[in-house]
Amino acid sequence: MKLCAGNLIISYHAEKRMRQRCISQFTVDTLLEYGEIDFHQGKECYYFSTRSKKKLIQDYGNDIGEKILQEVSDYYCVAANDTIVTVARKLKHFKRNR
């Protein structure tokens, strides 16, 4: 198990999914640092909202921020008890506040 941004531990399952889905450690760290958090069935879901995308672009600048967003904006991760449970590509709209 590894530590990542936000002092969360990446579980074996999440590491495996990251390898299978070609999701970089940078993507997960950026998601945890800039992503918004929603709660779903008692777990934290980190994802990029319009507000968090604007914050990332503001911090990195237009050119670099846009390049980073192209790489990371379609992903989300699920965390529970200070551990990242899984990481995946966001294929549909989240149902919020469940």
Q: What is the pLDDT of residue 94?
A: 56
Q: Does the predicted TM-score (pTM) go above 0.85?
A: no
- Measure the CA–CA gap between 80 and 86, rounded to whole angstroms: 10
What ranges do the domains of the chain cover? Answer: 2-89
The tens digit of pLDDT for each residue in 14-61 reads 999 999 999 999 889 999 999 999 888 889 999 988 899 899 999 988
Handedness of CA 51, 77, 5, 38 (dihedral sign): positive
